[in-house]
Amino acid sequence: MNLESMAIELPAFHGHPNREPFRGVLTLVNTPSDRPPAGSRGHRVVLTRKAAERALPSLLGMALDYSPALDRHDAQRKVGIITRAEIVGRAIELGGYIIAKDFPDLVRHIESGTIHASAARRRPQNPPGMSYEISDACVASRRDKIWTLMRVTFTGAAILRRDKAAYRDTWIELE
Protein backbone atom coordinates (compact mmCIF):
# COMPACT_ATOMS: atom_id res chain seq x y z
CA MET A 1 0.00 0.00 0.00
CA ASN A 2 1.31 3.43 -0.95
CA LEU A 3 0.02 6.46 0.92
CA GLU A 4 0.45 10.15 0.13
CA SER A 5 -1.32 12.48 2.54
CA MET A 6 -1.75 16.12 3.55
CA ALA A 7 -4.20 18.15 5.57
CA ILE A 8 -4.99 21.55 7.03
CA GLU A 9 -6.37 21.65 10.53
CA LEU A 10 -9.21 23.88 11.58
CA PRO A 11 -9.45 24.73 15.27
CA ALA A 12 -11.55 22.21 17.16
CA PHE A 13 -15.00 23.44 18.14
CA HIS A 14 -17.01 20.58 19.59
CA GLY A 15 -20.65 20.61 18.52
CA HIS A 16 -20.32 23.36 15.92
CA PRO A 17 -23.78 23.42 14.24
CA ASN A 18 -22.47 24.34 10.80
CA ARG A 19 -19.46 21.99 10.60
CA GLU A 20 -20.36 18.39 9.76
CA PRO A 21 -17.27 16.25 9.03
CA PHE A 22 -17.30 14.18 5.85
CA ARG A 23 -15.01 11.71 4.17
CA GLY A 24 -15.10 9.95 0.85
CA VAL A 25 -13.41 8.87 -2.36
CA LEU A 26 -13.10 11.62 -4.96
CA THR A 27 -11.60 9.58 -7.82
CA LEU A 28 -9.26 6.77 -8.76
CA VAL A 29 -5.74 7.15 -10.13
CA ASN A 30 -4.30 5.15 -13.03
CA THR A 31 -7.85 3.97 -13.78
CA PRO A 32 -9.96 4.94 -16.81
CA SER A 33 -13.14 6.81 -15.93
CA ASP A 34 -16.43 4.97 -16.36
CA ARG A 35 -17.90 7.95 -18.23
CA PRO A 36 -16.44 11.03 -19.90
CA PRO A 37 -16.22 13.88 -17.38
CA ALA A 38 -17.46 17.35 -18.28
CA GLY A 39 -14.88 19.24 -20.30
CA SER A 40 -13.29 16.13 -21.83
CA ARG A 41 -15.05 16.48 -25.18
CA GLY A 42 -16.63 13.04 -24.84
CA HIS A 43 -13.41 11.25 -23.90
CA ARG A 44 -12.98 9.04 -20.89
CA VAL A 45 -9.90 10.01 -18.86
CA VAL A 46 -7.12 8.53 -16.74
CA LEU A 47 -5.54 10.64 -14.00
CA THR A 48 -1.98 9.41 -13.58
CA ARG A 49 -0.72 8.77 -10.08
CA LYS A 50 2.17 11.16 -10.69
CA ALA A 51 -0.22 13.94 -11.73
CA ALA A 52 -2.43 13.23 -8.70
CA GLU A 53 0.54 13.32 -6.31
CA ARG A 54 1.70 16.63 -7.77
CA ALA A 55 -1.81 18.14 -7.60
CA LEU A 56 -2.79 16.85 -4.15
CA PRO A 57 -1.86 20.13 -2.36
CA SER A 58 -4.20 22.05 -4.68
CA LEU A 59 -7.21 20.24 -3.13
CA LEU A 60 -6.66 21.64 0.36
CA GLY A 61 -8.95 24.56 1.16
CA MET A 62 -10.99 24.07 -2.00
CA ALA A 63 -14.76 24.02 -1.90
CA LEU A 64 -17.21 21.17 -2.21
CA ASP A 65 -20.24 22.10 -4.32
CA TYR A 66 -23.48 20.62 -5.61
CA SER A 67 -26.44 21.33 -7.86
CA PRO A 68 -30.00 21.02 -6.51
CA ALA A 69 -30.75 18.05 -8.80
CA LEU A 70 -27.36 16.51 -7.89
CA ASP A 71 -26.76 15.79 -11.55
CA ARG A 72 -23.86 18.15 -12.30
CA HIS A 73 -21.29 20.49 -10.85
CA ASP A 74 -22.29 23.97 -9.71
CA ALA A 75 -19.17 25.86 -8.71
CA GLN A 76 -21.27 28.79 -7.47
CA ARG A 77 -23.15 26.68 -4.89
CA LYS A 78 -20.54 25.90 -2.21
CA VAL A 79 -21.57 23.50 0.56
CA GLY A 80 -18.30 22.53 2.18
CA ILE A 81 -14.53 22.72 2.40
CA ILE A 82 -11.83 20.12 1.78
CA THR A 83 -9.28 19.92 4.61
CA ARG A 84 -7.65 16.54 3.93
CA ALA A 85 -6.56 14.74 0.78
CA GLU A 86 -4.60 11.53 0.47
CA ILE A 87 -3.89 8.81 -2.03
CA VAL A 88 -4.61 5.39 -0.57
CA GLY A 89 -3.93 2.61 -3.05
CA ARG A 90 -5.70 3.80 -6.21
CA ALA A 91 -8.16 6.13 -4.44
CA ILE A 92 -7.92 9.82 -3.70
CA GLU A 93 -9.64 10.08 -0.34
CA LEU A 94 -10.93 13.40 0.97
CA GLY A 95 -12.09 14.76 4.26
CA GLY A 96 -13.47 18.07 5.36
CA TYR A 97 -16.67 19.73 6.46
CA ILE A 98 -20.16 20.18 5.05
CA ILE A 99 -21.84 23.47 5.99
CA ALA A 100 -24.56 21.51 7.75
CA LYS A 101 -26.89 24.13 9.20
CA ASP A 102 -27.11 25.92 5.86
CA PHE A 103 -27.74 22.73 3.83
CA PRO A 104 -29.81 20.38 6.07
CA ASP A 105 -31.46 18.55 3.14
CA LEU A 106 -28.09 17.65 1.67
CA VAL A 107 -26.88 16.42 5.06
CA ARG A 108 -29.99 14.22 5.40
CA HIS A 109 -29.40 12.73 1.93
CA ILE A 110 -25.78 11.94 2.71
CA GLU A 111 -26.74 10.49 6.12
CA SER A 112 -29.31 8.20 4.54
CA GLY A 113 -26.80 7.00 1.95
CA THR A 114 -29.11 7.89 -0.91
CA ILE A 115 -29.69 10.88 -3.08
CA HIS A 116 -33.16 11.15 -4.51
CA ALA A 117 -33.51 12.14 -8.14
CA SER A 118 -35.84 15.04 -8.80
CA ALA A 119 -39.54 14.19 -8.79
CA ALA A 120 -39.77 15.15 -12.45
CA ARG A 121 -37.40 12.35 -13.45
CA ARG A 122 -38.82 9.64 -11.15
CA ARG A 123 -35.52 7.74 -11.15
CA PRO A 124 -34.64 5.34 -8.35
CA GLN A 125 -32.48 6.46 -5.47
CA ASN A 126 -28.75 6.64 -6.07
CA PRO A 127 -25.99 6.59 -3.49
CA PRO A 128 -24.08 9.87 -3.34
CA GLY A 129 -20.72 10.15 -5.07
CA MET A 130 -18.17 12.83 -5.86
CA SER A 131 -16.42 14.30 -8.85
CA TYR A 132 -13.33 16.47 -9.16
CA GLU A 133 -13.02 19.90 -10.72
CA ILE A 134 -9.74 20.74 -12.44
CA SER A 135 -7.99 23.42 -14.40
CA ASP A 136 -4.69 23.60 -16.29
CA ALA A 137 -4.98 20.00 -17.48
CA CYS A 138 -2.22 18.61 -19.66
CA VAL A 139 -3.36 15.68 -21.83
CA ALA A 140 -0.71 13.28 -23.19
CA SER A 141 -2.40 13.05 -26.60
CA ARG A 142 -5.78 14.43 -27.61
CA ARG A 143 -5.90 11.79 -30.35
CA ASP A 144 -6.12 8.95 -27.82
CA LYS A 145 -9.51 7.36 -27.25
CA ILE A 146 -8.97 7.68 -23.48
CA TRP A 147 -7.20 10.87 -22.48
CA THR A 148 -4.28 10.53 -20.06
CA LEU A 149 -4.08 13.50 -17.69
CA MET A 150 -0.40 14.19 -17.07
CA ARG A 151 -0.85 17.39 -15.04
CA VAL A 152 -3.86 19.02 -13.37
CA THR A 153 -4.70 21.59 -10.73
CA PHE A 154 -7.67 20.69 -8.56
CA THR A 155 -10.08 23.61 -8.16
CA GLY A 156 -12.72 21.82 -6.08
CA ALA A 157 -15.08 18.87 -5.97
CA ALA A 158 -18.79 18.22 -6.34
CA ILE A 159 -21.31 15.98 -4.63
CA LEU A 160 -23.58 14.29 -7.15
CA ARG A 161 -25.38 11.07 -7.89
CA ARG A 162 -23.00 8.25 -8.74
CA ASP A 163 -24.79 7.67 -12.02
CA LYS A 164 -23.71 11.20 -13.02
CA ALA A 165 -20.10 10.88 -11.82
CA ALA A 166 -17.25 10.01 -14.16
CA TYR A 167 -16.20 7.30 -11.67
CA ARG A 168 -18.92 5.05 -10.20
CA ASP A 169 -16.71 3.97 -7.30
CA THR A 170 -16.74 7.38 -5.65
CA TRP A 171 -18.66 7.98 -2.43
CA ILE A 172 -19.20 10.41 0.40
CA GLU A 173 -20.36 9.88 3.96
CA LEU A 174 -20.58 11.86 7.18
CA GLU A 175 -18.14 10.96 9.93
The per-residue pLDDT for range 49-106, each reduced to its tens digit, is: 999 999 999 999 999 999 988 889 999 999 999 999 999 999 999 999 999 999 998 9
Max CA-CA distance within the chain? 52
In a domain, 42, yes or no: no
In a domain, 64, yes or no: yes
Structural domain contains residue 7:
no
Asked if 29 contacts 49 with a C-beta cutoff of 8 angstroms, the reply is yes
Cβ(5)–Cβ(89) below 8 Å? no
Distance CA 172, CA 70 (A): 13
Q: For residue 40, is it within any domain?
A: no
User: For residue 2, what pLDDT band results from cuts at 50, 70 and 90?
Assistant: low
- Let me know if residue 90 belongs to a domain: yes
Domain assignment present for residue 147? The answer is no
The domain of 103 spans 19-29+58-137+156-174
| Confidence bin at 12 (pLDDT 50/70/90) | confident
117 domain residue, yes or no: yes
pLDDT digits (tens, 9 = 90+) for 116-152: 444 334 344 667 999 999 999 999 999 999 999 999 9
pTM recorded for the entire structure: 0.87
Cα–Cα distance for residue pair 174/154, rounded to 1 Å? 22
Report the pLDDT value the prediction gives residue 58, as an integer from 0 to 100. Answer: 97
Q: How many domains does the chain have?
A: 1
Alpha carbon distance, N-terminus to C-terminus of the chain: 23
Checking 112-121 for CB contacts under 8 A at 24+ apart, the result is: 113/173, 115/70, 115/160, 115/161, 117/69, 117/70, 117/71, 117/161, 118/68, 118/69
Answer yes or no: is 36 within a domain. no
Do the beta carbons of residue 84 and residue 6 sit within 8 Å?
Answer: yes
